[in-house]
């Protein structure tokens, strides 16, 4: 069954806007020359609408699908503004000690690296007049502190490491002119709110705010609106019908049969490169080990791995030396595997909106993709919620030898947690927040 997916909008809209040029968006000739035609043939819908508004200094809130060009959409105006700033253009005037002009917050190391590479590529023509610094946890803080000596113009950071650097007095945020929240939905969720609150306290009140994400859950609406000032809102996903590029499947089986089912699919459907989403770091290690015993090259990918190990896993995956990567949701944010053919939801996402992020890893740039979800009796209610949220209804397949035999449990009141009956730490925090609200 082939269903439309928002991840296909980029290629579709590229065709529709193929006659438009970046020349029309207010960018300087020097920056336009940095846009390689093969990588940036024409502005995507989000770039077309975002860039001119960002150049005016107005706040923006973007909801656009994965792969729609959001990173370049905010990178280009920030570099353009920087190139025109006399404080940064003239080396003789010097860069203000420890000051940061643009701060980009991202939830994961991989996304930080990816965003940093984009900024460095697009700002190469500025040379030393544009200093881009990337900081994230999981590695020694000392080299990052050394790299911040003399200040930086554009800082790409994960929240935890940024707070560590502030504690070490390695930088100042009092001069930040633009704050970018990339994957704003994740950064505004409860798990990041404490860190974000501390960072916001160090920023000047007068600044430009640029929020970008693939989804816009109602749970973050109030907080986001309190941080934005008269924002220009851009909604790309779902505005226009797109070609169907992702096949979505749901296979009904018992929880205990999922690993064997995954092995079976490798043998019967010739899966070659698969990103498998699991709920926990422990599950990523266990399932990867079981696949390796079966002769399938598999590696875990989660936050407790060293940065070197994570980069090695990604390199091996892209070169097809590893066939399967078992990843947790947060670790997988920002992963960009070109022409990734298959995504498997071994565990369903805890949040229904994360389904968009997961399946958006495949079917990119018009390439065909396959998204398979394992649905079990104890997660059936949650799967029904995911279908309702995304306005899809998939026929649940059964595969001989892997049929579900367990009964569907009664739906528990309150949260529909899918990692077991015990609520997670985030669930408890949400319940506490809800109970503390005035009647």
* pLDDT digit string (tens) for the chain, length 439 residues: 334 333 343 443 444 444 578 999 999 999 999 898 878 889 999 999 999 999 999 999 999 987 789 999 999 999 999 988 744 444 445 555 667 999 999 998 888 999 999 999 999 988 888 999 999 988 899 999 999 988 899 999 999 999 999 999 999 999 999 999 999 988 987 678 889 999 999 999 999 999 999 888 888 888 899 999 999 999 986 433 344 478 999 999 999 999 999 999 998 998 989 999 999 999 999 999 999 999 999 999 988 888 788 889 988 998 999 999 999 887 666 677 878 999 999 999 988 778 887 888 887 766 788 999 999 999 999 999 999 988 889 999 999 999 999 888 876 555 444 444 445 555 555 555 554 444 3
Cβ partners under 8 Å of residue 335, min gap 6: 110, 275, 314, 327, 361
CA distance 113 to 229: 29
Query: Distance of alpha carbon 271 from its chain centroid, rounded?
Result: 25
8 Å CB contact between 106 and 182: yes
CA distance 137 to 158: 7
CA distance 36 to 31: 10
pLDDT at position 218 is: 85
Residue carrying structure tokens 């579900």:
404
CA distance 382 to 350: 8
CA distance 439 to 433: 13
- pLDDT per position as a tens digit, 303-344: 888 878 888 998 899 899 999 999 988 766 667 787 899 999
pLDDT at position 370 is: 93
pLDDT at position 396 is: 95
8 Å CB contact between 243 and 12: yes
Q: Which of these, 45, 129, 128, lies nearest to 81 by C-alpha position?
A: 129
In order of their start, the domains of the chain are 22-81+95-235 (3.40.50.300), 246-397 (3.40.50.300)
Q: Which of these, 380, 390, 370, 398, lies nearest to 2 by C-alpha position?
A: 370
Q: Which pair of structure tokens corresponds to residue 60?
A: 């923006």
8 Å CB contact between 45 and 242: no
Answer left, alpha or beta for residue 391, where phi above 0 means left and psi between -120 and 50 means alpha.
Answer: left
Answer left, alpha or beta for residue 308, where phi above 0 means left and psi between -120 and 50 means alpha.
Answer: alpha
The burial of 423, by beta-carbon neighbours within 10 Å (0-12 exposed, 13-18 middle, 19 or more buried), is given as middle
8 Å CB contact between 179 and 210: yes
């Amino acid at each position: 069954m082939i269903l439309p997916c928002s991840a296909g909008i980029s290629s579709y809209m590229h065709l529709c806007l193929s006659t438009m040029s970046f020349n029309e968006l207010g960018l300087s000739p020097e920056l336009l020359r940095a846009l390689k035609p093969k990588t940036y043939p024409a502005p995507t819908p989000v770039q077309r609408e975002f860039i001119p508004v960002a150049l005016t200094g107005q706040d923006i809130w973007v909801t656009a699908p994965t792969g729609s060009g959001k990173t370049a959409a905010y990178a280009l105006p920030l570099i353009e503004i920087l190139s025109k700033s006399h404080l940064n253009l003239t080396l003789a005037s010097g860069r203000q000690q420890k000051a940061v002009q643009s701060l980009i917050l991202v939830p994961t190391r991989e996304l930080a690296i990816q965003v940093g590479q984009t900024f460095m590529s697009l700002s190469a023509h500025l040379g030393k007049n544009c200093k881009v610094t990337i900081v994230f946890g999981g590695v020694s803080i000392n080299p990052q502190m050394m790299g911040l000596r003399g200040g930086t113009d554009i800082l790409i950071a994960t929240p935890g490491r940024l707070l560590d650097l502030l504690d070490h007095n390695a930088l100042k945020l009092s001069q930040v002119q633009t704050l970018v929240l990339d994957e704003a939905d994740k950064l505004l969720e409860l798990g990041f709110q404490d860190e974000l609150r501390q960072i916001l306290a160090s920023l000047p009140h007068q600044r430009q705010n640029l929020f970008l994400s693939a989804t816009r859950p109602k749970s973050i609406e109030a907080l986001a609106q309190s941080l934005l000032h008269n924002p220009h809102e851009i909604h790309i996903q779902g505005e226009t019908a797109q070609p169907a590029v992702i096949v979505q499947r749901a296979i009904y089986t018992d929880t205990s049969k999922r690993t064997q089912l995954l092995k079976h699919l490798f043998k019967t459907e010739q899966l070659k490169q698969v990103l498998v989403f699991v709920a926990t770091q422990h599950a990523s290690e266990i399932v990867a080990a079981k696949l390796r015993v079966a002769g399938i090259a598999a590696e875990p990918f989660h936050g407790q791995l060293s940065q070197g190990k994570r980069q090695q896993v990604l390199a091996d995956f892209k070169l097809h030396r590893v066939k399967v990567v078992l990843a947790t949701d947060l670790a997988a944010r920002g992963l960009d595997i070109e022409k990734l053919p298959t995504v498997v939801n071994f565990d369903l996402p805890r949040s229904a909106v994360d389904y968009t992020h997961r399946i958006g890893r495949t079917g990119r740039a018009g390439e065909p993709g396959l998204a398979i979800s394992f649905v079990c009796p104890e997660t059936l209610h949650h799967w029904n919620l995911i279908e309702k949220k995304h306005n899809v209804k998939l026929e649940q397949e059964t595969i001989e030898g892997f049929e579900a035999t367990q009964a569907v449990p009664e739906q528990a009141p309150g949260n529909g947690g899918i990692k077991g009956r015990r609520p997670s730490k985030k669930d408890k925090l949400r319940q506490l927040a809800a109970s503390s609200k005035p009647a």
